[in-house]
Amino acid sequence: MTDIDVFHFDESKKSFNDLSYQNGFTYWFASDLMKMLGYSSLDTFHKAINKAIGTCTTLTIDVIDNFKQEKREVNGVSLNDFRLSRFACYLVAMNADTSKPEVARAQVYFASVAEAFKRYVDEAEDVERVTIREELSAHEKSLSATAAQAGVDQYHFFQNAGYRGMYNMNIAQLKKLKGIPDKRTPLDFMGKTELAANLFRITQTDLKIRQEAITGQKPAEQAAESVGKKVRQTMQEITGIKPENLPVHEDLKKIKSDIKASHKDFKKLDK
Look up the pTM and report it: 0.65
- State mean pLDDT over 171-188: 95
Residue with the bigger pLDDT between 192 and 186: it is 186
Locate the domains of the chain by residue range: 3-122+258-269, 125-249
Side-chain-side CA neighbours of 164 within 13 Å: the count stands at 13
d(CA 165, CA 194): 14
Q: How confident is the model at residue 13 (pLDDT cuts 50, 70, 90)?
A: low
Percent of the chain predicted with pLDDT > 70: 89
What average pLDDT does the segment 119-146 reach?
81
Encode 155-192: b = buried (16+ Cβ within 10 Å), e = exposed: eeebbbbbbbbbbeeebeebbeebebeeeebbbbbbbb
Band (pLDDT 50/70/90 cuts) for residue 214 is very high
- Based on its alpha-carbon atoms, the radius of gyration of the chain, rounded to whole angstroms, reads 22
Q: 3-class SS at 188?
A: helix
Q: What is the pLDDT of residue 187?
A: 96
* Average of per-residue pLDDT values in the chain: 86
Identify the pLDDT of residue 67.
Answer: 94
Helices (H), 168-251: 171-178, 192-211, 217-239
Instruction: Evaluate if residue 110 carries a pLDDT over 80.
Output: no
State which H helix or E strand residue 64 sits in: helix 63-66
What is the reported pLDDT for 1? 35
pLDDT at 244 over 90: yes
- pLDDT at 123 > cutoff 60: no
Could you tell me which residues are beta bridge partners of residue 78? 73
Tens-digit pLDDT profile for residues 14-64: 778 888 888 778 899 999 999 889 898 888 999 999 999 988 888 888 899
